[in-house]
Every structure is written in structure tokens, then in C-alpha cells.
Amino acid sequence: MIVTAAALKALLSSGDYIPVDTRAEEDYRAASLPGAVNLDVYSYFIPESSEEGVARMAAGAQEAFARLGLDGARKPVFFEQKTGMVAPRGLWFHELAGFEGGMILDGGIEAWLIAGGETAPGTGAPEAITHGAAPAAQFRRDLVATTEDVLHHTERGTEIFDVRRPTEYDGSFVHACCARPGRIPGAHFAFYEDMLSEGYYRSAEEIAEIARNAGLAPEDSIITYCHRGARAATALYGLRRAGFDKVRIYTGSWHEWAGRADLPIEIG
């Protein structure tokens, strides 16, 4: 769920919610929401989006949230400077791990300050999502796609949704760490940032129109992807706001797909 800064003020006074600062540790140390913990959700790369790989990713998320005390009654509220490509990934990891009730602070710490919220230097020990040593026994498999799910998406009745920059989609730009430029064949396209306006999510109606223009319908089963699964989470929560409920993420995303020379690509 996406929460406004004004609504968050009331929620935090209940003591049931913990702000989770997903920014760099130095920003957290300088000024954060009072009582916030610091969690790096951005640096993680999945080694392989196989059944075992996604189950170990979920185990790693479960362990990180347990270390932060966010595996029970207390719920996380993820934030970054402004809503972008990081805080939504935090909520997705929390849901993937099997927990409910987490939120994204829309507009990030900047919205909090505009709403008159106080800040304090972050004092907690920084944590990070890491890969689990063993597969999770239980997790939200319906929120994640394997490479096989993507490869067989047509037979499995799923749409692929690329939310990278237009130049990444058409292959005229590729990150230096990726083996090949291009896109997953048949992918629908919209740039994830178009679902945001100045660091806030756009309205449900505006996001629904973006999705419709990309050729997607609310009843579709959708797999989002980007470079390595962060921007895909921003898109997932935008789509969910617009009533698209069957959305999951191919965490390995273009980085993994491009590195597998046996997988087909489209370019241009």
C-alpha cells in the first residue's frame, strides 16, 4: 500500500510501524525519520532466477526482516528521498518473504518534511538483503517470475512488461555490466518513471491509461522487468494502484536474460 506523509504521522504514533530508510547509510546517519532502521534493498543481484534461486532470494529477505524485527506484528514503511526505484523494491521484498501490511511512503522523506515531520540522525546498524544460504520453505511465489516463466510466457498466458528507458528497450543503450543490448521478445513497454510525477505516484486513472496504452488490461497476468528488478517494483505498485493485481517481477531482469546466450532477444 502507498501511504501519504500526513497519514503516516498518525500511523507512527500507534507504535505498530517502523520507518525503513532505503537510502545510503550516510543519508540515514545525517537525518532520517525518527526511529527508522536502514536497509539496503538496492544492491542485491539474484545469481540465477531458477526455482532454487528465487526461493533463496526469499530466504535472504526473510532473514533480513527478522534481523530488523519486521517479521511479526511491526510493519515496515519504506521510504527514499522521493519515491523512485528503491523504496518499492523494499516493499516487494517484504511481501515476497511472506509478510503483510508493509507500505511505501509516497514522496519519500521530502514529502515527510513538507508535511512538517521531524527528523533525527539514524542510529541503527545498517542491514542489507543478501542471498539466502538455503531455499525458503514458504514465500510468495506468485510475486516473482523465473527465467522459465518468462521464456514460456505465451503458453503460460502471461504478458511481459519492460519498464526500462526507451533506449534500453530499443537496444541503443545497454548497461556496461550486461552482455547484450535489446529486450525480451514480445515485451510491452512503458517507462516506469511515467507512473510517477515529481517523486509521487500518479493517480490510479493516470497509471491505468499508461498501462492501457502499453497494451495491458487489468485482468492480465503480467511480469515486469527492468535492469535487475528495482524499477520493476515501482511499476508493480503503480499497476496495483490502478487495479492490475496479477503482477510479478522477473528479478534477474535484463541483466540475467542478456547474459544467457541461449535466450532470444529483440532489438530495434
Ligand X SMILES: O=S(=O)([O-])[S-]
Nearest approach in angstroms of CB 115 to ligand X is 27
- Tell me which of 229, 241, 250, 258 binds ligand X, using CB under 6 A: 229
Candidate list 231, 242, 250, 257; residue touching ligand X; CB under 6 A: 231
Please say which residue, 36 or 235, places its beta carbon nearer to ligand X. Answer: 235
Stretch that binds ligand X, among 6-14, 119-127, 136-144, 221-229 (CB under 6 A): 221-229
Nearer to ligand X, 169 or 244 (CB): 169
CB closer to ligand X out of 37 and 232: 232
Contact 112, 200 (CB under 8 A): no
Residue placing its CB nearer to ligand X in the complex, 88 or 117: 88
Stretch touching ligand X by CB under 6 A, among 143-151, 177-185, 199-207, 220-228: 220-228
Residues 66-105 touching ligand X, rule: CB under 6 A, are 85
Least separation in angstroms between residue 109's CB and ligand X is 20
Minimal distance in Å, beta carbon 151 to ligand X? 20
Residue 228 lies near ligand X (rule: CB under 6 A): yes
- Are 91 and 37 spatial neighbours (Cβ–Cβ below 8 Å)? no
Sheet holding 103-105, edge to edge: 2-3, 103-105, 75-79, 17-21, 37-40, 127-128
Residue whose C-alpha is closest to residue 225's, from 52, 84, 89: 89
Per CB under 6 A, does 23 bind ligand X? Answer: no
Among 8, 77, 214, 230, binds ligand X (CB under 6 A): 230
Residue whose CB is less far from ligand X, 76 or 229 = 229
Q: How far is the CB of 90 from ligand X (least distance, A)?
A: 13
State which of residues 23, 183, 227, 241 lies at the interface with ligand X (CB under 6 A). 227
Contacting residues toward ligand X, per CB under 6 A: 85, 226-231
